[in-house]
Copies of this chain bind each other. A is one copy, B any other.
Amino acid sequence: MKLKESKELGVNALIFLNPKRDSDIRTLLVPAPVYVALLHYPIRNRHGKLVTTAVTNMDIHDIARSARTFGVRQYFIVTPIEEQHELVGRILGHWRTERSREYHPDRFEALERVRLVHRFDEAKEAIHQELGEWPEVVLTDARPLPNAISYSDYRKELVAPHRTRPVVLVFGTGWGISDTFYPEVHRILAPVYGPEGKEGGYNHLSVRAAVAVILDRLFGH
């Protein structure tokens, strides 16, 4: 099997060649550059009040591994609290040593892509600095919101030829992202539902599970 860049199909397209079966020549589309941001502020608590949540160790690891699996370029952990930067910085430092690279190469490779920032602005600036373009900000939410786009539609957009604009998928902690964040948002993804769809009712995935499912729906093989 061979991957060959195709000029005709645009910068995001590759032609996938299976030499054993001529009829099986098909196009493998490479999506736009994607980033993930996990917000710990501005967040709603159970009463709808604006709060800052704490970073959890499991959110660092699980989301880093999912991000690495699905080709995410960087995973931004956003928290304004200085003590959390010290704590998370120490955890990341532990996993970024040479010893860890040898003994836990999978963890090392995943956690390499984690970046700790104070404000969401810093994530956007980092993306702009890396690629020279400002990202499209995509909100995920467990509640149905107006103008939400389906996963299959957005997946198609991301692999459209000549699309280069990066995307940052934004996930919340606590009881979800506060409305005060909405002015930042360009696009909204539909909630994740089980087999019964919207009528089924229960959609209380952990943020770790939601990130995995949403990345798979947009970028899974």
Asked if A202 lies at the interface with its beta carbon under 8 angstroms from chain B, I say yes
Given the known inter-chain contacts A65-B209, A66-B209, A212-B209, please indicate yes or no for A221 contacting B202, CB distance below 8 A: no
How many copies are assembled?
A: 2
Given the known inter-chain contacts A69-B203, A204-B68, A204-B69, please indicate yes or no for A31 contacting B195, CB distance below 8 A: yes
Complex contacts, A68 vs chain B, CB 8 Å:
202, 204
Asked if A146 lies at the interface with its beta carbon under 8 angstroms from chain B, I say no
Q: Which of A1, A58, A209, A210 has the most CB of B within 10 A?
A: A209
Asked if A187 lies at the interface with its beta carbon under 8 angstroms from chain B, I say no
Across the interface, A65 reaches (CB within 8 A) one of B69, B195, B206, namely B206
Complex contacts, A106 vs chain B, CB 8 Å:
202, 204
Inter-chain CA distance A212–B208, complex, in Å, is 9
Given the known inter-chain contacts A106-B202, A213-B216, A216-B216, please indicate yes or no for A69 contacting B194, CB distance below 8 A: yes
Given the known inter-chain contacts A58-B58, A71-B200, A200-B71, please indicate yes or no for A205 contacting B212, CB distance below 8 A: yes
Asked if B71 contacts A206 (CB within 8 A), the reply is no
Inter-chain CA distance A68–B209, complex, in Å, is 12
Complex contacts, A202 vs chain B, CB 8 Å:
68-69, 106, 109-110
Asked if B31 contacts A205 (CB within 8 A), the reply is no
Given the known inter-chain contacts A65-B204, A204-B110, please indicate yes or no for A220 contacting B212, CB distance below 8 A: no
Asked if A30 lies at the interface with its beta carbon under 8 angstroms from chain B, I say yes
Asked if A192 lies at the interface with its beta carbon under 8 angstroms from chain B, I say yes
Inter-chain CA distance A110–B205, complex, in Å, is 10
Asked if A62 lies at the interface with its beta carbon under 8 angstroms from chain B, I say yes
Asked if A70 lies at the interface with its beta carbon under 8 angstroms from chain B, I say yes
A197-B221, A212-B213 known; 10 new pairs, CB 8 Å cut-off, are A62-B209, A66-B209, A68-B202, A69-B202, A69-B204, A193-B221, A208-B212, A213-B213, A216-B217, A217-B220
